[in-house]
Amino acid sequence: TQKYVFDSVLSIFGKDVAENIRILVTFADGQRPPVLEAINAAGVPCPKTKDGLPTHFKFNNSALFAQKGSSEEVSWRKGNKGGFDQIFWEMGAESMKSFVAALSFIQTKSLTLTKEVLRERKQLEISVENLQEQVKRGLAKLEGIKETREKLKEYEAEIGRNENFEFEVTVKKPVQEDISGSGNYITNCQQCHVTCHYPCTRANDAGLRNCPAMGSDGYCTQCPGKCYWNVHFNQKYKWEYKDVKEKKTIKEMKEKYDRARGEKMTVQKVIDKLKAEYKSLQADVVKLMEESSKCLNRLKEIALKTNPLSTPEYIDMLIEGEKSEGKPGWKQRVQSLRSMKEKAELTAKIEEGKKLLHHFEQR
């Protein structure tokens, strides 16, 4: 839990802030605070002493809240030169002097890199979310092509006798899902017919220039066409892709490729064309993964810490916490956390360079 708290705070800063971090240890006596080892173990970035310990200042705030005691307690304190409260007060006063003196030697840092971290992280979150949907659609298309090829082989005899023989396959179709009652804004690309950012904080179309999906040059970083911001609009629907059962005939498929290639197609040529589409789509999905990987690597270069909610283990911890507490609405929160975990797992696979297409590579 403490590591989660540390990482949550540190994840918003750029790496150049690390040398300006100082540790203030409360409830500390005259000994070495055990928390220093925990800070080192957690990898909290900060300057170190010659002993390899985090640069720190000790305080014990009990002296600040000391209550007026009985006559016996007062007598005891006088006999013991003020007792522990005085010791802690003096220790805190010295630590405060040292801390204030140390501040004068710390070089101030611009928050420019921190702003860049926040901007790039937001773009990354949008990219990963859109990537997840695009990869899902890509894998579904691959499965659809594979299914079509298998059906062509399965019904080869029937198709040979009757070009109008129908077979059923599953395809992904874009549909408009109404969000008018959600209270959320959205950024849709009118040219690509995709949702680039949802939910968005920009209510007006004129403000979409500053939507997190837009790059510094004004072009969208999310839609396939990388279109300019002014062809994006805040609409009452978002684009979703649904599984739809569709009937096909070899005659229709041959006519489709006849028009595209300007040549007469045989059943084998249709199968060959499907194989070529399959390989091309594989390459497109790999490219999407590579683009996201570049963004992740860039974030590693400039961010002090990664966002803890990009780590599946942290999200598991939050899920278990919600389950054990069982507060009203916990089921909905767990559902949202599981969705976040799915995105985090996808991000982790991309970051590690794992091939999401392994299931399809031998087909």
150-159 pLDDT, tens digit each = 888 887 777 7
DSSP 8-state symbol, 51: T
DSSP H helices, the chain, are 2-10, 35-42, 71-79, 83-103, 112-154, 156-161, 250-261, 267-302, 312-325, 330-351, 358-361
Q: Given phi > 0 = left and psi -120 to 50 = alpha, else beta, which region is 232? A: beta
How confident is residue 363, by pLDDT bands cut at 50, 70 and 90? very low
pLDDT digits (tens, 9 = 90+) for 195-221: 999 999 898 999 999 998 998 899 998
Please provide the average confidence, as pLDDT, over all residues in the chain.
78
Domain ranges of the chain: 1-16+110-161+250-363, 23-103
DSSP 8-state symbol, 228: B
Cα distances (Å, whole numbers) of residue 223 to 7, 101, 114: 31, 52, 26
- Using DSSP's 3-state secondary structure scheme, residue 219 falls into strand
In what helix (H) or strand (E) does residue 233 lie, and over which residues does it extend?
strand 232-233
Residue predicted with more confidence, 184 or 173: 184
Is the CB of residue 341 less than 8 Å from the CB of residue 315? Answer: yes
pLDDT digits (tens, 9 = 90+) for 51-89: 899 999 888 766 665 555 545 555 545 555 456 677 778
- Return d(Cα 177, Cα 179) in angstroms, integer: 6
| Statement: the pTM of the whole predicted model exceeds 0.85 | no
pLDDT at 307 over 80: no
Is the CB of residue 117 less than 8 Å from the CB of residue 13? Answer: yes
Other beta carbons within 10 angstroms of residue 64's beta carbon come to 11
